[in-house]
C-alpha cells in the first residue's frame, strides 16, 4: 500500500507514469467518454480539517469523473472531532469504509502520522506549512505542459509558510534555477527559510535570494513566476509587498508564465488575468487531470 505524504514519495518514474495518464485523459476524445469507468466501484473519502476550494473539488471531481464515488467530511463541527475524537481514531474508522483517504489538516506532520492508522492509501492534501504533494504534481505538470522544466523559476509571496513551494522544489530538483523573493524583515522577527533550503536538498550556486524591490528588475529574466498568498492564518510576520499588476506582467518575456496555487489576495490583481502569461486558471484545470492521473495510478489495478 502506498501513501502520498510528501513530494518525495514520487520517483521520476512515478511522475512520468502519472503525467502519461493525465495527458492521455486530457487528450481528445473527451476523457469522460472513455475513462469514466476506470475507478468504478471505488469510494474515495475526503477529510478536510482546514478550508479548501480547489484541492477538495478537483480531487472529488477527478474521482467522480473516473466513476468512483466520494464521501466527504469538511465540517469538523459536525464530526466526532467535535466530541474529542483523535485524528488517529477518525482515520482508523474512516479507512474501514473507503478505498483511499485524502486528508488536509492544519498541523504539519499530522497527515503522515495519521497515515500510520489507515488501512487504505492516504493522500496528503496539505498539512500546515509542511507539504502539499498533489499541488506540486499539478504545478510541475503545468510547467511541463506550458513551458518545459528548465530555465528560471521565481517564487514570491509567503515563502515562510507556503506548503506548495517546498513540495514543488522537491519535484523540480536541479532542473530549474530558483530565485526566492524575500520580504524586508522586521529587525525583531527574523524569518526562517531553512525549510526551503532543505526542500531544495542541495546548494546551487545559481539559486538566488533577493528582496522584493530587486525582484521586480529580475522579472524580464524569469520563465516561470510562482506567486503565493500571504498566509495570515499561519501568523505571517509583516506582509510581503510584491504585487503583480498588468504593467509589471508586461515587463516579462512574452512566453513567460505566471502561476499561483490560489486562492489569491491582493498580491495578484484581477487586471492581470487577461494577460497571456497568466495561466493560473489553466493550472486549476490541469490540476483536475493530474489528480485523475494520480488516482488511476494509485488505485486502478
Point out which residues bind ligand NCD (CB under 6 A).
54-55, 126, 132, 135, 163-164, 228-229, 231, 261-262
In the complex, what is the shortest distance from the CB of residue 128 to ligand NCD, in angstroms, rounded to a whole number?
Answer: 9
Q: Shortest gap between Cβ of 231 and ligand NCD (angstroms)?
A: 6
C-alpha separations of 180 from 103, 119, 149, 283 in Å = 29, 39, 17, 21
d(CA 60, CA 45): 9
Distance CA 242, CA 229 (A): 10
Nearer to ligand NCD, 95 or 283 (CB): 283
Shortest Cβ 125–ligand NCD spacing (Å): 7
Task: Kindly tell me which of 167 and 177 has the beta carbon lying closer to ligand NCD.
Answer: 167
Cell 487504505 locates to 120
Q: Judged by CB, which is closer to ligand NCD: 45, or 133? A: 133
Task: Between 52 and 79, name the residue whose CB sits nearer to ligand NCD.
Answer: 52
Residue 85: which residues within 8 A CB-CB, separation 6 or more? 79
Cell numbers representing residue 275 in the block = 494577460
Residue 102 sits at φ, ψ, to 5 deg, of: -115, 120
CB of 25 to ligand NCD, least distance (A): 20
For ligand NCD, give the closer residue by CB, 45 or 126. 126
- Residue showing cell 483523535: 86
* Partners of 84 in beta bridges: none
CB nearer to ligand NCD: give 55 or 142.
55
The label of the residue with cell 466513476 reads 67
Could you give the CA distance from residue 128 to residue 132 in angstroms, rounded to a whole number? 9
Least distance in angstroms from the C-beta of 287 to ligand NCD: 8
d(CA 256, CA 296): 31
3-state helix, strand, coil in the chain (%, to 5): 45, 15, 40
Residue with smaller CB distance to ligand NCD, 47 or 177: 47
Closest to 164 (Cα-Cα) out of 189, 186, 142: 142
Amino acid at each position: 500500500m502506498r501513501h502520498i505524504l510528501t513530494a518525495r514519495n514520487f520517483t521520476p518514474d512515478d511522475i512520468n507514469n502519472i503525467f502519461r495518464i493525465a495527458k492521455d485523459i486530457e487528450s481528445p476524445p473527451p476523457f469522460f467518454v472513455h475513462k469514466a469507468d476506470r475507478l468504478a466501484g471505488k469510494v474515495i473519502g475526503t477529510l478536510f480539517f482546514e478550508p479548501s476550494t480547489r484541492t477538495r473539488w478537483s480531487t472529488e471531481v477527478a474521482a467522480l469523473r473516473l466513476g468512483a464515488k466520494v464521501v466527504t467530511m469538511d465540517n469538523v463541527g459536525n464530526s466526532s472531532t467535535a466530541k474529542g475524537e483523535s485524528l488517529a481514531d477518525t482515520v482508523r474508522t474512516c479507512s474501514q469504509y473507503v478505498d483511499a483517504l485524502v486528508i488536509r489538516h492544519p498541523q504539519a506532520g499530522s497527515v503522515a502520522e495519521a497515515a500510520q492508522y489507515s488501512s487504505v492509501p492516504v493522500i496528503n492534501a496539505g498539512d500546515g506549512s509542511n507539504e502539499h504533494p498533489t499541488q506540486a504534481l499539478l504545478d510541475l505538470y503545468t510547467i511541463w505542459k506550458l513551458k518545459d522544466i528548465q530555465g528560471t523559476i521565481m517564487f514570491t509571496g509567503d515563502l515562510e509558510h507556503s506548503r506548495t513551494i517546498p513540495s514543488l522544489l522537491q519535484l523540480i530538483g536541479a532542473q530549474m534555477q530558483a530565485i526566492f523573493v524575500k520580504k524586508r524583515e522586521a529587525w525583531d522577527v527574523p524569518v526562517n527559510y531553512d525549510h526551503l533550503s532543505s526542500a531544495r536538498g542541495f546548494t546551487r550556486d545559481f539559486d538566488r535570494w533577493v528582496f522584493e524591490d530587486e525582484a521586480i528588475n529580475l522579472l524580464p529574466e524569469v520563465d516561470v513566476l510562482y506567486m503565493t498568498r500571504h498566509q495570515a492564518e499561519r501568523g505571517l510576520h509583516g506582509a510581503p509587498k510584491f504585487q503583480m499588476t498588468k504593467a509589471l506582467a508586461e515587463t516579462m518575456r512574452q512566453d513567460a508564465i505566471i502561476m499561483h496555487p490560489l486562492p489569491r489576495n491582493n498580491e495578484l490583481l484581477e487586471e492581470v488575468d487577461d494577460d497571456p502569461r497568466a495561466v493560473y486558471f489553466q493550472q486549476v484545470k490541469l490540476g483536475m487531470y493530474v489528480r485523475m492521473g494520480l488516482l488511476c495510478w494509485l488505485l486502478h489495478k
